[in-house]
Structure 1
Amino acid sequence: MTKWEYLTAPLLVHNTKQILDNFGADGWELVQVVPGPNNPEQLVAYFKREKQ
């Protein structure tokens, strides 16, 4: 059975591509982007990758 680890990170709108590329290079797969809990304009990205 595959085991996963998860990560949440703020997603800065002015630097989105670089942030996503950096996480992707480390093996993280973007699962979802949602508005932040305290500020809907602040985005939160959820990532997952197979646990080693």
Structure 2
Amino acid sequence: MTRWEYVTVPLLIHATKAILDQWGADGWELVQVVPGPGDGLVAYLKRPKES
């Protein structure tokens, strides 16, 4: 059974792609983006936990 770890990341509108590309390069998969505080967004990411 796969075990997952999760992280929430605030996204800056003008740098969304760069932020997601960096997390993706570290093995994180985007699950969802939701409205955050103010005009911001929050990304929820997951990746398999290392054994």
TM-score range, shorter chain: over 0.9
Dislocated runs of 4+, deviation >2 Å: none
Q: Secondary structure at the match of 2:27?
A: coil
C-alpha displacement at 1:5, in angstroms?
A: 0.1
Structure 1 counterpart of 2:20, one-letter code: L
C-alpha displacement at 1:18, in angstroms?
A: 0.6
2:44 to 39, 43, 46: 46
Alignment of 1:22-41 (within 5 A): 22-36=22-36, 38-39=37-38, 41=39
Count of residues in Structure 1 that have an aligned counterpart in Structure 2: 50
Which TM-score applies when normalising by structure 2? 0.92
Q: Give the alignment's Cα RMSD to 1 decimal.
A: 0.7
- Tell me what 1:13 maps to: 13
Q: Secondary structure at the match of 2:17?
A: helix
Q: Secondary structure at the match of 2:31?
A: strand
Which TM-score applies when normalising by structure 1? 0.91
